[in-house]
Amino acid sequence: MMRTMMRYSFPLLRRLPVALAPFAVLVGVGMGLAADASAQSPDGQQQSRPVRHAFLVAGPSFTGIIDEHGETQWSAPKARARDGWVLKNGNVLIVWAKEAIEFGADKQPVWSYQLHKPNRELGTVQRLANGHTLVTELGPAPRLREVTPKGDIRVEVGLQPDTDNAHMQTRMARKLPNGDYLVPHLLAHAVKRYQPDGKVVEVIRTDRESLGGRKAENWPFTAIRLANGNTVIGCTHGNKVIEVDKLGDIVWSVTNEDLGGIIHDACGVQRLPNGNTVIASYAAKTGAKLIEVNRDKQVVWSYDGPHRVHHFQVLTTNGEPLPGVAMR
């Protein structure tokens, strides 16, 4: 069967045929197909075929792109990435602890950023609509920065992680459409929204008693601001994902109690256009490493392949690229 190119220009991302199942589909079936193969396309339309995704993995032993057959389509020069994106121009943007690199054709770097002293780690990378790149630095001077294509620092915001533990200060910071920054702080048990002047104007707490308090270790790793103003938060050691409305009330959640204990360290999270939520089970060494659940908390897809997943970006569903900006 001929493979046609996706709307991404990256040559390894292809619109894949749906005749072959790449890896685990639906809960409890290992590497096979589920009895109920109904699914939704990226635009939310019902389908009568199993779910298949291609996705970018940032993980401890592999960083690259897995196609809908479960095959490696592209791999970075090294593993242990923290965050990464396939950009609209087809390039791949990845951050490791000490550097962020944008790769063009033939894996040639076309942009890079190096960690600056006195800080110890980088944690986030995000290409912004204005062409700048958002990075976070962790250490004695925790901060986020917007870096121009030429490497100039245009914005710097000091962060308030409430800990000197550099590795646990923050994870997936994201710039919002209004210009503010949404930053999850793990050991603070809080997602904070910063204005560009550094003022904290919103705090969403994950150590509330209804979630088990601080003993539950609901350390926020991913925070996604939805178009309706709700915020989806991955709570790492708490093994849950919550959705909080504008008033701070939890309006949806999925936990190990709902899924039979298959979440092991809920790190990366992505909300798909059809409303489903994909969760990285980072600590899982066997079984499901990525889990997709619908609003009814039913598992509709999982990746049971060999690579552990720190964060990820779902790129296609059943051969179709996801529309819009990835909510992750």
pLDDT at 238 over 80: yes
Whole-number Å distance between alpha carbons of 27 and 45:
21
Q: Is residue 13 part of a domain?
A: no
Q: Is residue 20 part of a domain?
A: no
Q: Is residue 58 part of a domain?
A: yes
Least confident segment among 40-49, 179-188, 213-222, 282-291 = 40-49
The 10s digit of each residue's pLDDT in 94-147 is: 999 999 999 998 999 999 999 999 999 999 999 999 999 999 999 999 999 999
pLDDT at 18 over 80: no
Whole-number Å distance between alpha carbons of 201 and 101:
31
Whole-number Å distance between alpha carbons of 183 and 135:
11
User: What is the domain count for the chain?
Assistant: 1
Least confident segment among 25-29, 53-57, 269-273 = 25-29
Residue 42 — pLDDT band, cuts 50, 70, 90? Answer: low
pLDDT at 34 over 70: no
pLDDT at 35 over 70: no
Which domain, by its residues, includes 285?
40-321
The 10s digit of each residue's pLDDT in 207-221 is: 999 999 999 999 999
Three-class secondary structure assignment of 130-154: CCCEEEEEECCCCEEEEECCCCCEE
Q: Quick one: average pLDDT of 174-183?
A: 98
- What is the pLDDT at residue 45? 56
Q: Is residue 158 part of a domain?
A: yes
Mean pLDDT of the chain: 89
Whole-number Å distance between alpha carbons of 239 and 232:
14
- 74: domain CATH number is 2.120.10.30
Q: Is residue 326 part of a domain?
A: no
Q: Is residue 239 part of a domain?
A: yes
User: What sign does the dihedral 313-316-321-322 (CA atoms) show?
Assistant: negative
The model's pTM is 0.88
Q: Is residue 24 part of a domain?
A: no
Task: Name the CA radius of gyration of the chain, rounded.
Answer: 19
pLDDT at 4 over 90: no
Q: Is 74 helix (H, G, I), strand (E, B) or coil?
A: strand
Q: Is residue 33 part of a domain?
A: no
Q: Which residue has the higher pLDDT, 43 or 120?
A: 120
